[in-house]
Structure formats: C-alpha cells, structure tokens
C-alpha cells in the first residue's frame, strides 16, 4: 500500500458525522441507510468534496463486515466502454447478495467519462437488475449523464468545502500526526486547495515530508504555485506599457518556479480584481483571461497564449480598445 493510500485509509471517515461540509446530503444518505434500502444514487459535484468517501461509508454501514463481498468499484475513466457494462457490471449485478441486505452495490466513479453507448447499456442493466443491485455513481458534471439514467437516480449535489471545513480536517490530521501548523499555513492550504479537501490533504502530506513545523512559506514552496506578488509585478509592468519586462518576468516565473500556464491564468484572474483600473476594463480582461485559459486547455502553446494575454493588459493600460 502506498503512502497516499495509507493516509487515505487512516483518515477515512467511519461514520456519517465525519463527512464535513455536506450536512444536508449526509442527513439524507444516513436516513436511507437506516431504512436498509437505498435507490440508485448519483453524486454530482467538484473533485475532493467527499463523493467517493460517502459512497464507501454507505456501503460499510449497510453491509458491515461483509461489505467487500457485496461491493464492486469501477473507475469509469479507465474502464469506459460498453464491454465493461456488458461483462463486469452485468456479471456482478446478476448474482445474489451475501448477508441480510437483499442487494449488492456497484460504485461507478467518474461516471461522466462513460461513452454514450456504455450509458445506454447501463440504463438497461439498471432496469433489469434493480432487485439484486443498486448503483451509486459519482461525476463532476451531471449534464454529461444521459437523462434516462438521471431519472432513475436520486441526485445528491456536492459543493466545494468552506474554509472552516478544510481547516477542521487539516487540524485533525495535524493532531494525529503531531504536526505543528501555523494559522497562516492553514490559510494558505485552503487557498491552494480552492475547496478541494483531497488537494489540501495531499499538499499537507507533501509538506510534512520535509518539515514537521509547517508555515505558509513551506506550503507555497511545495505547491509550486504562482505567488500573487510576482503575478502582480507582471501585470503592473504590462499595465504600465512595459511589455518586454512583463514578458521576461512571466518567463522567469514559469521556468524558475516551475509554474504551469493554467496556474498562472488562475493567479491572474484573482489578481485582476485588485488592480486600480476601471470596472469595465476588469470585465474585459477577465473575458480575455477566460479565452486564454480555454486555448491552453485545448492544446495551444502556454507561453504564446500568456503573451497574448499580457498584450491585452498593455492595451488596457494605454486606454486602447481590447
């Protein structure tokens, strides 16, 4: 078992009350489990908000010590074709459960990665084996799941975790691992995680591997993320019309600090609203930032797109039309 898996298992919630930030969902899921009967369920929401963890808690609370025999987990992003539904899923669904619960549970992680053909086959499987099997699906975007499957499921919509929820999880781990962590480090962990608890825990684990006394600077160093002060320097150069210095500083951040283009884009987007420029220009620059991010995600060269974005800032600073 890897170190990451050890941490995940060590701090996996064992009861519903340990799932943070999703109180309404936990309350409804707990009621379903107490009735010893669950419908098909879809967990939809951002990564790192507790979808897979809650699915495992439901299964463990339902089946107790026989949960492994009655539970099949598939990651749809790895196994996304129709053959998986026709073979693995159907073979597991058609057999009787072991124990007092009358059904098994199949958990499809990242179900929005399933092909359309696989989803159509899954719809028929859900119909045919309702008596012997229940499906729990998790996805980031429920819109990518076909309507017939959505209509067969109770949909739980997860939200990004608030600061107090992330901090409570981090403090719990720090206490068990005997880590000393400062308040500014907690703030930085939350900012870097952007509401994703998994990302916060992974960042804490990486930081703890080099220091047991954790402060904000260590966290930022491990995260290899663009520092807002550096990004602000780039934008200040651009708004002042100094494109060459802005370009040089941007290249310096990307190469020396090993910061990716999408991370730079996010830092720029946050920094725009602190700039001393007209609100209408902020709106236009935010639009330009979104366009650059889209092109980078679609495969365009990061540095070329970021230079084009800096050119927009130069035009904005000189009151030219952008």
Q: What is the CATH number of the domain that holds 261?
A: 1.20.272.10
Looking at the structure, do residues 15 and 123 belong to the same domain, yes or no?
yes
User: Is residue 178 assigned to a domain?
Assistant: yes
Looking at the structure, do residues 128 and 58 belong to the same domain, yes or no?
yes
CA distances from 237 to 148, 155, 162, 248, 291 (A): 53, 48, 34, 10, 21
User: Is residue 3 assigned to a domain?
Assistant: no
Looking at the structure, do residues 110 and 247 belong to the same domain, yes or no?
no
Among 157, 177, 196, the domain boundary falls at 157
Domain region containing 242: 228-317
Among 223, 245, 264, the domain boundary falls at 223
**Rounded to an integer, what distance in angstroms lies between the CA atom of residue 162 and that of residue 201?**
15
Take residue 227 and report the two structure tokens written for it: 């520092």
pLDDT in tens, the chain (322 residues): 444 444 444 444 446 767 788 888 888 888 888 888 889 999 999 988 989 889 999 999 999 888 999 998 888 666 666 776 777 888 888 888 888 888 999 999 888 888 888 888 888 888 888 888 999 999 998 989 999 999 999 999 999 999 999 999 999 999 999 889 999 999 989 988 888 998 899 989 988 988 888 888 888 888 765 566 688 899 999 999 999 999 999 988 888 777 788 888 988 998 898 888 888 999 999 999 999 999 998 888 999 999 999 999 999 888 776 6
**Rounded to an integer, what distance in angstroms lies between the CA atom of residue 25 and that of residue 16?**
10
**Rounded to an integer, what distance in angstroms lies between the CA atom of residue 200 and that of residue 162?**
12
Looking at the structure, do residues 281 and 311 belong to the same domain, yes or no?
yes
Count H helices, E strands: the chain? 16, 7
Q: How many domains does the chain have?
A: 3
Among 176, 198, 223, the domain boundary falls at 223
Longest dimension (CA), the chain: 73
The closest alpha carbon to 43, from 31, 18, 60, 26, belongs to 26
* CB proximity list for 192: less than 8 A, separation 6 or greater: 199, 200, 203, 219, 220, 223, 225
Looking at the structure, do residues 40 and 99 belong to the same domain, yes or no?
yes
Q: What is the CATH number of the domain that holds 198?
A: 1.10.8.60
Looking at the structure, do residues 94 and 141 belong to the same domain, yes or no?
yes
């Amino acid at each position: 078992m890897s170190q990451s898996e050890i941490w995940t298992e060590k701090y996996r919630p064992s009861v519903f009350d340990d799932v943070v930030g999703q109180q309404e969902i936990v309350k409804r899921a707990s009621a379903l489990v107490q009735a010893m009967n669950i419908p098909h369920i879809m967990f939809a929401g951002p990564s790192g908000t507790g979808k897979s963890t809650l699915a495992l808690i439901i299964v463990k609370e339902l089946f107790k010590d026989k949960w492994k025999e009655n539970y099949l987990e598939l990651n749809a992003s790895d196994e996304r074709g129709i053959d998986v539904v026709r073979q693995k899923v159907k073979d597991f669904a058609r057999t009787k459960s072991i124990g007092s619960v009358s059904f098994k549970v199949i958990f499809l992680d990242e179900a929005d990665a399933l092909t359309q053909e696989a989803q159509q086959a899954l719809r028929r499987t859900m119909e045919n084996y309702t008596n012997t099997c229940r499906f729990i699906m998790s996805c980031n975007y429920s819109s990518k799941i076909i309507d017939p499957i959505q209509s067969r499921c109770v949909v739980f919509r997860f939200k990004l975790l608030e600061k107090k929820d992330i901090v409570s999880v981090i403090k719990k781990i720090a206490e068990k691992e005997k880590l000393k962590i400062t308040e500014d480090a907690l703030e930085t962990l939350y900012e870097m995680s952007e509401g994703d608890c998994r990302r916060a825990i992974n960042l804490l684990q990486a930081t703890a591997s080099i220091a047991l006394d954790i402060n904000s600077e260590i966290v930022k160093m491990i995260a290899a993320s663009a520092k807002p002060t550096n990004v602000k320097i780039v934008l200040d150069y651009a708004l002042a019309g100094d494109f060459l210095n802005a370009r040089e500083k941007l290249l310096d951040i990307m190469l020396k600090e090993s910061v990716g283009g999408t991370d730079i884009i996010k830092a720029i987007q946050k920094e725009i609203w602190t700039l001393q420029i007209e609100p209408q220009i902020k709106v236009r620059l935010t639009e330009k930032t979104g366009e650059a991010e889209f092109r980078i995600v679609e495969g365009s060269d990061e540095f070329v797109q970021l230079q084009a974005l800096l050119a927009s800032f130069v035009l904005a600073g000189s009151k030219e039309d952008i």
